[in-house]
Structure formats: C-alpha cells, structure tokens
Amino acid sequence: MVIFGFGFFLAFLKRYEFSSTGFNLLIVVLGVQCSMLIDLIFHLPYKNVLDRVAEATVSVTAVVISAGTVLGKTNPVQLILMTVVEMIVFRTSRWINSTFLQVPGKISVMHAPLFGAYFGLAISSRFSEPSPRSEKNASTPKSDLLSMLGTLFLWVFWPSFNSILVANHNERAICNTYFTLAASTVTAFALSALTTKDGRFRMTHIRSAALAGGVAVAYTAQSIKYPWIAMILGQLASVITVLGSYCLQRCLNPAFKIHDASGVHFTFGLPSVLGAFVQEVLFIVNNGTNSPRLVYAVVVHIAAFCLTISVALIVGFITGSILSLKLFKTIPVSKYFDDQFYWEFPHLAVGF
Amino acid sequence: MPSALDTNMRFKFSILALLLEVIIIVIFGIFVEYELHADIQTLYPLFQDVHVMIFIGFGFLMTFLKKYGFSSVGINMLIAALGLQWGTLMQGFWHMEGGKIHVSIKSMINADFSTATALISFGAVLGKTSPVQMLILTVLEITIFACNEHLVTRVFEATDVGGSMTIHAFGAYFGLAVTLVLHRPGLKNKHQNEESTYHTDIFAMIGTLFLWLFWPSFNSAIVPETPSMITAIINTYFSLAACTVVTFALSSLVDQRGKFNMVLIQNATLAGGVAMGTCADLPIHCFAAMCIGSIAGIISVLGFCFLTPLLASKLNIHDTCGVHNLHGLPGVLGGITGIVVTAIRTDTGPGSRFTPSMQAAALGSTIGIALAGGVLTGGILKLPFLGHTSDQNCFDDSVYWEVRHNLPLFSLGWKMYSTLQSCSLEVFVVCTQVSAFKNVAVPQAVNVSKPPSGSFLDMLASHAIYIRLTLNKKQKQTKQIETSVEVSASSSPF
C-alpha cells in the first residue's frame, strides 16, 4: 500500500512541468488531509489508518483529474478552493450513494475518475478559452517525454490502484487490470497510426489511450472471470478514447465552450462511462436467473452512476462560476500556461 | 522532412497490430483462465518492481539518442505490452494443465521477463527499424525465447533465476544477429542524429537508476524459496555496488583526460546485475558476488571502448545501445560463473541439483538458438514491405511520430543559411550571436508567441518566431526575411 502511494504520487508529480508538478503535490497533500478530516468529522466506518489513507488517496484522484482540465488556467488560490469543495462534494455524493442506494463504499470510491472528469469539465466551461494561436499551449519533445514518464508510472501502478481497496479478490483485480492495460496499449498504437494523416503516432493518443484501459476496468476489475473479457474491454476503452479525442476536440468542445487542457474527458471521463456500462452488462450476464432482484440491482447501479455525474456537473458548474469571480484574481487569457507567473526562476532564460 | 512514401504505415501497422491483438484475445479466450493463490503478499511487490524496470527502466535507458526519445519510450511500451500477452501464451503452452493455461502473479512476472528479451534486442536495432518490424520481431523472438527457456530449465534443468543466459545473453545475441542481417552500409560513417545531448543523457540516467534500484527484485523474483530469495537479493545488491565503483574507476581510466563517460555510467553500472543472474540464489559468499560484479564492470567498460567499434567496423554489426556490452558479455559471464560455482560447490544447498555440464549446455544452446533465431528473424524483417526507412531517416522520431519541431535558435540560423542562400548573411550573423549564448539555455524560447516585455532573450525569441513563420511560407518571402532581420539587428543590444 505504501508502494502504491509513492507510485501514484510520483506519477502525477512528473506529469507536467513546473506548475503542474508543484500544484499537483499541493493538491494531493491537501486533498488527502481534507478527506481524512471529513472522515473523522462524520465518524465514518472504522478502519485502520492506512486503509483510510489509501481510500483518501484514491478519492484525491478526482481532484487531480479535474485539475487536469483547468491546467494552466487557475491560480493556486482557486486550486485550493477547488480541492476543498470537490473533496467535500465527492464525499457527500459517496455518502448519498452508500446510504440511500446501498452501494458498497468500495465501488463508490471507484467513481472518482468519473466524478473528477465531469467536475473538471463543468468548471472549465466557466473559464474563458485560450486563444488558439497561443504557442504556450503546446508541448515540446522534452515535456512530452516527461509526461510519458508520468504516464508510465501510472501505467505500471494502475493494477495496484484498482486492487488496493478490494480485499478478497485482490489478485484477480491485478491480473484483469494488467491484461486490460496491455490490450489497450497495443490498440492505442494501432488506432493512433490509423487516425492521423500520414500514419504516424501521436503522443497524446498513446498517453491517454494507454491509461484508458485502466480506468475502464476499475469498476469490474474484481468481477471479471476470464482475461479475454478484460482484454476486449481494454480494446474498447482504447477505441473510445482515440475516437473521442478525434471527434470531441472538433465537435463537442466548441459547442459547449469547454477547453479541456489535458484531454481529461476522453482519458478518464468516457472510459469510466464505458466501465460502468460494462459493469451492468456483466452483472446481467452473470446473474441471469433471478430477475426481480436483478432489475433492482441494475437500477441502483445506474442511479448511483447518474447521481455521481449529475452532482459532479452541477457542483462543478457552480464552483466554476464562483472561481471565475473577480475576487480570486483570475488569470488573464494571455497569461495562461505560463509558469513565470507563479514561480521564481533562477534566471529568466528558462526554456519551456 | 522525411518522405511519407516509404514510411507511411497507416494501414500496414494498424491492421497488423489489431490483427495480432484479436488473435491473442481469441487464444486467451480459448486457453487462459485464472488460477488465484494467496501468495500475493510476497510476489506482488516483486512483480511491481519488475514491471517498473521493464516499462520505465528499459524505456528510458534508450532515450539517449537526441531525436529518438519518443520512439525509445513509446515503442518500448508497445513491445512490452504486446510481448507480455504473447509471452503469457507462449510460456503457458509449455506448462499447460488440462488444456488450460493458468495465469497468476507468477506467470505475470514470467511474461514480463520474456518481454525483456525483446526489449534488449530492440536496443541493438534501435533507430534502424520500423514499428511494423518491431511487432514481428517481438512475436518471433518471444516464441523462440519460450522454447529456449523450456529447453534450459526443463530439459537441461540448469539454474538461471535472474536470466543471465536465457534473458540477457539471449536477447543481446538475438539482437546482434538481427542487426547483422539488417546491416546498412550507409550508416558506416556515423549518422548525424546518432548522438546524445545533455538532456537526453539525463533522461537515460533516469532509466539507469530505475533499473539499478530494482535489479535485486529482478534477480530474485522467481526464486522459489524464501531463504534463497534473500540470498539472491543480497548478492545482486553487492554485485551492483561493486560494479558501479569499478565502472567509475575504469571510465576515468580509459578516457584520455580522465573524465567520466556518461554512456559507460549509464550502461556498465548495470552489468553487475546481469552477471549475477545465474548464480544469484546459489550459496556463494558476498565477496564472490562483488568479484563477479567487478569483473562484469570491467568487461563491460572494455567492451564499450574496444569491442563495439571493432564489431561495427569489422563484422558489420552496428549495436546502437551497446547491448552486447551491457547484456551480452555480462550474460555470458553469468553463465560461466554458473558453471564454475556448480563445479566448486557440489555438496551444499540447492546448488547440488545442478551440474556444470548442464550449465554449459544451457549456455551453449542459448547462444546458438539466439544467433540462429536472430538471423532467421532478420531475414524475415528484411522483406521489403515492412516499412523500412531510408538510411538518412534513421534515428529520427518524426518519421513515425508527430513531433512539434521547435528548432533551437542556433540551429535555426544554420537552417536558414542552408535553405536560402541568397539573403542569409544577416540572418546568419544574428543567429551566430545567439549561438554564443547557447549555454544560457535558450533552446526552446521559440515558444514565446507575442512581442515580449523587456528581457532581451525573449525579444530574440520573438524575432526568431517571426523569421520562422516567414520561412514556413517558403521562397517568395525573401524580402520579408530581410526586413525582419533588419528589425532584429536594429533593436538588438549587440
């Protein structure tokens, strides 16, 4: 579990550049403490501390993911506020899920990527778009390599991520995630070559699609019985992600004025929708006999799912509106994606 | 820019990759099922370490080429992801029970091991193959590897826990044979992209450190009993430490001015781990482990300095990453120490099961099969429709990846000089002045898009952008370029 914590940490630490890494550290630390605090205040189920930290860290992914959507567009004050609000809301949404809908707590934590992605999208719709000509909103080969390092860390430790909260089917969750990730990576390369103009790979595709498998399998990691199901799921996730990045950037984002700085929607949002869907399908296939209870269970799952998304969207929208008030000194559009705004450089001649 | 004709792999690659994936899934559907134990507490951390080594360690170790970082890490990930699925199947076929392959954490570790061979071979051919070729190489090599491993561990019953022979020596000699068959006479003189820069060396060092850290896990991951597992960890640990010290010493010794050579530090420091692979779990003393590590370091450094140039010039084997010195020679050393140790200590411990003759047979068969398999695979890869690049496009990411070209300022000047002969004089002057500042780490200041506020480096960068934009529009703007140069010349503080 400690290994998990470190691996996960490093992953997001190295993910982007100066601000991204620095603020990510800030968010994660703050988020974990915040989540622990909420747990303590509400005297939620008694577990040992390490379990609780693990759970808190998993929920912090939600915040980190939403931070990904507004990357480069917020100042630290806004981020801190966002962290606190999001942790509270996510905890509440989980609480609603577990009290009214009787969803086991472990499943509801797995809603984290879903929640984070849509929360972040809703927030980012409240921020103005960067000018399309801006060259800062681009990557260099060096920063791409660094973010690949982050991706690889995530990739390598994703089996732990999916299995950490599952006590009894631990090994199965690990194996499933492992095969899903492998399948989704191979598919990602194939599709990336297929969708770009002259058959080259695009780094963004590889990064997001390779992870998509892990996200998608999160719900079902413990229940899939054969590896081939997991692998097909991985392929599907990868397909959705690459197609998503292909279509969404063109059609959806301009329509809703969303600017998704690091492709969170198709990396985490869509695959987790897929994952939830597949969970239902598998659930129905596995328990095909006793129908009344089955229908009830499926309805509960879907309700929990919808609830999470809608809470995320609504609260995200509100938070976004609050955050973009003048009070917080929102960054002007021209200063987006600029490290120099917040960080001291040893000398000005820093390349980025 | 590289021509799109011979390297466009839009359909070739994607269809082949999807096809392989579908085939694998179908085979998985037929044969594979889970077999779940409770051994997760001990094995899973080890698995994770090996996993990190394969994906991050090997991937970043190969990023040292200045324009080939994407491919090194990306294709490494592709090979490993495909290889682990294929490896699960191939190794599983040798251990089938009741017509089913049983998958557990242990088989996942083994699958990761099998991908390591393909990655090592990738190091030997790095920069000279296309992704399509790598897919085929991965599938073939892992198939052959699984057969050889079965031969070594089941038929000969030799010991090779850390895979000195079966993984490292096999992968290295396989890769060397492939690169011999794929020999490019055009690359006899050093290719201009086949060198490292300061930053790429640091990236490569990330890989080295991860490999170094987790090597004890690699050597001990499949040791069955706990006491020998601890022996394996300790032996590898000391061997690596000794090897590192020796490498630093020798690196300074072989350089004429006594400076360290980053290539040696990146690679030869790991040789100790490779050489420990065979006898890691045998009852040897710490000092023996340290001796093995030191010898491995010595032969690795000497290999880099003397053998690699010799191989390249005399035998037409062009070994990009020097895998022969990192994996090949130390792997053979590991095999030999295995023979020696089993010959000396026939009495005690788990070593008593193994005989020197069988160890020797294992070593011989591994190298033989690797060379033969490599030549065969190389022959298949030579088929013309696999997206071979031209010699000129080797070691270049932009052939297979979408790369944003942010030209460093100083090379910008060079570019313009070579493309627009007529009007280039002023441009070149400005840029040479900038290039005097290249220690000041401006390289990618081209990113700044608007006229900046003050600092003079920013200002230079904005001019550079202007120049670059006009350059993109090609020939007719000769005049515009001249004007922009005038602007920069008049406002520059030089």
Q: Which 3-state string (H, E, C) describes A155-181?
A: HHHHHHHHHCCCCCCHHHHHHHHHHHH
Q: How confident is the model at residue A233 (pLDDT cuts 50, 70, 90)?
A: confident
pLDDT at B27 over 80: yes
Say how far apart CA A249 and CA A3 lie, in whole Å.
Answer: 36
pTM of this structure: 0.79
Average pLDDT score over residue span B232-241: 88
For A136, the token pair is: 């800062």
Task: Of A271, A145, A108, A11, give the one whose Cα is nearest residue B404.
Answer: A145
For A51, the token pair is: 């379990």
Burial B249-262 (b: 16+ CB within 10 A, else e): ebbeeeeeeeeebb
Inter-chain residue contact A157 with B440, CB threshold 8 Å: no
Say how far apart CA A22 and CA B401 lie, in whole Å.
Answer: 29
For A120, the token pair is: 């972040």
- Chain A residues whose CB is inside 8 A of the B63 CB are 145
Any idea what DSSP says for residue B476? G
- Write down the mean pLDDT value for chain B: 74
Contacts of residue B446, defined as CB under 8 A and 6 or more positions apart, other chains included, come to: A135, B406, B407, B408, B409, B412, B461, B464, B465, B468
Handedness of CA A44, A45, A48, A53 (dihedral sign): negative
Say how far apart CA B203 and CA B63 lie, in whole Å.
Answer: 6
Say how far apart CA B241 and CA A113 lie, in whole Å.
Answer: 42
Burial A241-265 (b: 16+ CB within 10 A, else e): bbebbeebbeeebeeeebbbbbbbb
- A128: Cα separation from own chain's centroid: 22
Cα-Cα end-to-end distance for chain A: 35
pLDDT at B7 over 70: no
Average pLDDT score over residue span A100-105: 66
In a domain, A213, yes or no: yes
Task: Of B413, B420, B460, give the one whose Cα is nearest residue B440.
Answer: B460
The verdict on A160 touching B (C-beta cutoff 8 Å) is yes
Helix extents (H) in B303-407: 308-314, 323, 329-344, 356-381
Higher pLDDT, B468 or A344: A344
Highest mean pLDDT among A180-184, A317-321, B453-457: A180-184
DSSP secondary structure letters along A44-80 = -S---HHHHHHHHHHHHHHHHHHHHHTTTT--HHHHH
Say how far apart CA B25 and CA B36 lie, in whole Å.
Answer: 20
In a domain, A108, yes or no: yes
Residue B294: per-residue pLDDT: 92
Q: Which residues pair with B401 in a beta bridge?
A: A201
Whether the Cβ atoms of residue A193 and residue A238 lie closer than 8 Å to each other: no
In a domain, A351, yes or no: no
pLDDT at B265 over 70: yes
How many domains would you assign to chain A? 1
Q: Which residue of B has its CA nearest to A181?
A: B81
Whole-number percent of chain A with pLDDT over 70: 64
The verdict on B197 touching A (C-beta cutoff 8 Å) is no
Least confident of A43-57, A128-142, B144-158, B426-440: B426-440
Nearest to B13 among A172, A199, A232 (CB): A199
Tokens 């759970």 belong to: A55
Note the pLDDT tens digit of each residue in A265-300. Answer: 777 777 788 887 887 777 777 766 666 667 777 777
In a domain, A246, yes or no: yes
Inter-chain residue contact B25 with A189, CB threshold 8 Å: no
Handedness of CA B389, B391, B395, B397 (dihedral sign): negative
Whether the Cβ atoms of residue A317 and residue A122 lie closer than 8 Å to each other: yes
Note the pLDDT tens digit of each residue in B139-195. Answer: 999 999 988 888 888 887 777 777 888 888 899 999 989 888 888 877 777 777 778
The verdict on B28 touching A (C-beta cutoff 8 Å) is yes
Contacts of residue B194, defined as CB under 8 A and 6 or more positions apart, other chains included, come to: B65, B127, B187, B320, B394, B395
Whole-number percent of chain A with pLDDT over 90: 0
Contacts for A108-112: CB closer than 8 Å, 24+ residues apart: A108/A304, A108/A308, A109/A55, A109/A58, A109/A59, A109/A165, A110/A58, A110/A165, A110/A218, A110/A219, A111/A272, A111/A304, A111/A305, A111/A308, A112/A58, A112/A59, A112/A61, A112/A62, A112/A65
For A276, the token pair is: 């939830």
- Chain A residues whose CB is inside 8 A of the B61 CB are none
Whole-number percent of chain B with pLDDT over 90: 5
pLDDT at B412 over 50: no
**Which structural domain, as residue segments, surrounds residue A264?**
2-140+158-328
Task: Of B273, B328, B326, give the one whose Cα is nearest residue B301.
Answer: B326
In a domain, A31, yes or no: yes
pLDDT at A228 over 70: yes
Average pLDDT score over residue span B89-111: 82
Residue B245: per-residue pLDDT: 92
- Chain A residues whose CB is inside 8 A of the B10 CB are 193-194, 196, 198-199
Handedness of CA B401, B404, B407, B408 (dihedral sign): negative
Say how far apart CA B72 and CA B119 lie, in whole Å.
Answer: 10
Q: How confident is the model at residue B484 (pLDDT cuts 50, 70, 90)?
A: very low
Whole-number percent of chain B with pLDDT over 70: 76
- Judged by CB atoms within 8 Å, which residues 74-93 of B form the interface with A? 74, 77-78, 81-82, 84-85
Judged by DSSP in three states, A138 sits in: coil
Handedness of CA B206, B207, B209, B210 (dihedral sign): positive
In a domain, A343, yes or no: no
In a domain, A271, yes or no: yes
- A138: Cα separation from own chain's centroid: 21
pLDDT at A208 over 60: yes
Say how far apart CA B242 and CA A238 lie, in whole Å.
Answer: 45
Q: What is the CA radius of gyration of chain A?
A: 20
| Among A172, A178, A229, A339, the residue to mutate for chain B (most B Cβ within 10 A) | A178
Any idea what DSSP says for residue B490? H
Say how far apart CA A31 and CA A56 lie, in whole Å.
Answer: 8
| The CA-based dihedral angle spanning residues B365, B366, B370, B373, taken in that order and rounded to the nearest 10 degrees | 50
Note the pLDDT tens digit of each residue in B31-77. Answer: 887 776 656 667 777 888 888 888 888 888 888 888 788 888 888 98
- Write down the mean pLDDT value for chain A: 71
Say how far apart CA B320 and CA B125 lie, in whole Å.
Answer: 6
Say how far apart CA B91 and CA B144 lie, in whole Å.
Answer: 10
Residue A341: per-residue pLDDT: 58
Nearest to A171 among B10, B78, B104 (CB): B104
Average pLDDT score over residue span A335-348: 55
Say how far apart CA B76 and CA A295 lie, in whole Å.
Answer: 45
Residue B219: per-residue pLDDT: 86
Helix (H) or strand (E) holding B123: helix B105-125
Residue type, A169: H
Q: What is the CA radius of gyration of chain B?
A: 25
Whether the Cβ atoms of residue A209 and residue A188 lie closer than 8 Å to each other: yes
Whether the Cβ atoms of residue B180 and residue B315 lie closer than 8 Å to each other: yes
- Judged by CB atoms within 8 Å, which residues 218-237 of B form the interface with A? none
Residue B346: per-residue pLDDT: 61
- Chain B residues whose CB is inside 8 A of the A11 CB are none
Say how far apart CA B468 and CA B472 lie, in whole Å.
Answer: 6
Highest mean pLDDT among A105-109, A132-136, B346-350, B462-466: A105-109
Handedness of CA B374, B376, B377, B382 (dihedral sign): positive
Say how far apart CA B476 and CA B473 lie, in whole Å.
Answer: 8
* CATH code (residue A261): 1.10.3430.10
Inter-chain residue contact A201 with B24, CB threshold 8 Å: no
Say how far apart CA B259 and CA A174 lie, in whole Å.
Answer: 46
The phi, psi pair for A259, rounded to 5°, reads -115, 115
Note the pLDDT tens digit of each residue in A128-148. Answer: 665 554 455 556 667 777 777
The verdict on B52 touching A (C-beta cutoff 8 Å) is yes
Say how far apart CA A171 and CA B103 lie, in whole Å.
Answer: 10
ipTM score over 0.85, yes or no: no
Say how far apart CA A342 and CA A22 lie, in whole Å.
Answer: 10
In a domain, A73, yes or no: yes
The verdict on B73 touching A (C-beta cutoff 8 Å) is yes
Least confident of A178-182, B189-193, B247-251: B189-193
Residue B439: per-residue pLDDT: 33
Higher pLDDT, A9 or B338: B338
Contacts of residue B284, defined as CB under 8 A and 6 or more positions apart, other chains included, come to: B235, B341, B345
Average pLDDT score over residue span B23-35: 83
Q: How confident is the model at residue B1 (pLDDT cuts 50, 70, 90)?
A: very low
